[in-house]
Amino acid sequence: MQKIVVLGSSNVDTTLHVENFPKPGETINAQKVTEASGGKGANQAVAAAKSGSETHFISRVGDDALGTWMLDQLTGYGVLTDRVLKTEGVKTGHAYITLNSEGQNDIIIDHGANYELTPKDVEGAKAVIEDADCVIAQLETPIAATIAAFKIAKAAGKTTILNPAPAIKDLPKELLNLTDVITPNETESALLTGITISGDADLEKNAVKLHELGLKYVIITYGSKGAYVSSPVFTGLVPAFKVKAVDTTAAGDTFLGFLAGGLASDLGNLHDATVFACRASSLAVQKLGAQPSIPDRAAVEAALKEG
């Protein structure tokens, strides 16, 4: 069993279901409103746990009812939450999502307690990080905390995976130097490299630029087309599995959790782990919600057998 540590955000997701996105200045009616546990960090932790991995989560929630509810949700999905800290006087993070009939979404985030995560919090989880096979982080929590976690991981010889989302143009060199695998989507990659992705050839150009920044293993998720991998063990496009998307909210997070859950310690099976992650993501987009849509390992393995 893989041991995974995820450092990142915890949000309550409020989703407005609409036929079409409103135009500037337009007022429209929502078809319905739903709530679920979310946040990129929490989503990835749930996905890692559902992949069959022992998963520890480092995060902060508010000292409010939603914070308690988030902890209950995470525990229910099998995530170990002893390093999820309650933050006095601060609200739990909240994401407001507009979801259209095509399964596409817009998201606005109120970070709340997520921005209170500190390097000191990470130091308190040092033993957990040193015992892990892999550490995952995103950019919905302070970068200083991520750097602290990756320093501990690298000193212990563990794999680090950075999901640079939401996109930030100039990531600290220190963070990039501590990252083994970077996993931007095409928009995030273009911001990092300055190279717009308008076709498959641009994926290779982006990967080359990311390698020049010191990143050895690059995976650019490419929406309905799949994921482009550039690494010492495999380079090429891993095609997506063709499905009818209902809600893409947690697609990328599902990919990350299952990628980590499928990776060997030497990263030699990167291609197979990417296929595994793509299949998991294809199942997630066929259901509504973030964490509720994430499949378990048995469902993904069964789907892979079906093709």
Residues serving a catalytic function are 253
Backbone angles phi, psi at 30, to 5 degrees: -80, 140
12 is in an annotated binding site: yes
40 is in an annotated binding site: yes
52 is in an annotated binding site: no
247 is in an annotated binding site: yes
242 is in an annotated binding site: no
90 is in an annotated binding site: no
224 is in an annotated binding site: yes
10 is in an annotated binding site: no
Tokens at residue 191, please? 């911001």
305 is in an annotated binding site: no
282 is in an annotated binding site: no
284 is in an annotated binding site: yes
225 is in an annotated binding site: yes
154 is in an annotated binding site: no
72 is in an annotated binding site: no
Task: Output the CA–CA distances (angstroms, integers) from residue 65 to 70, 92, 116, 226, 229, in the order listed.
Answer: 9, 9, 18, 38, 42
- Residues flagged as binding site: 11-13, 39-43, 140, 185, 221-226, 247, 249, 252-253, 284, 287, 289, 293
- Residues flagged as binding site for ATP: 185, 221-226, 252-253
- Residues flagged as binding site for substrate: 11-13, 39-43, 140, 253
- Residues flagged as binding site for K(+): 247, 249, 284, 287, 289, 293
